Amino acid sequence: MTVQRDEDPATAPTCWCCGKEHPEARLVRLGAHPEVGVCLDCARWLHRRARQREDEHRSGLGPRLRASIDAVRATVIRRGWHERGVLGALLRRIDRRLP
Ligand SMILES: [Zn+2]
């Protein structure tokens, strides 16, 4: 699918979720609305939100494990540990590999 845009080539496209500028290679476009681009970090966040919604109607070890990981993630973010130098970089790197 080719997307026609009336953008200033000097400015990078903007994520429709977080509002930050990203290169086109770091955006995911919606199928029915290719004018909407979401950055990879926000796409990951949306995926997790969708999975949380699905888990609300499931039981078992998987949903409980993911809920525990989500609780730890929320604590890390609430305390700002993800923004602390080397520790933050390590936590963000680990988070990219978690469900
Ligand atoms: Zn974003």
Longest dimension (CA), the chain: 50
pLDDT in tens, 71-81: 999 999 999 99
Ligand 1 centre to CA of 56 (Å) is: 25
The answer to whether the pTM exceeds 0.75 is no
Expressed in angstroms and rounded, the spacing between residue 2 Cα and the centre of ligand 1 is 22
pLDDT tens profile 9-68: 568 899 999 999 999 999 999 999 999 999 999 999 999 999 999 999 999 999 999 989
Measured in Å, residue 55 CA sits from the centre of ligand 1 at 24
CA of 65 to the centre of ligand 1 (A): 26
63 alpha carbon to ligand 1 midpoint, in Å? 26
Phi first, then psi, for residue 60 (nearest 5°) are 125, 180
For residue 93, give the nearest of 79, 78, 76 by alpha carbon. 76
Q: Please give the backbone phi and psi of residue 97, each rounded to the nearest 5 degrees, phi first.
A: -100, -5
Q: Could you say which DSSP state residue 25 is in?
A: G
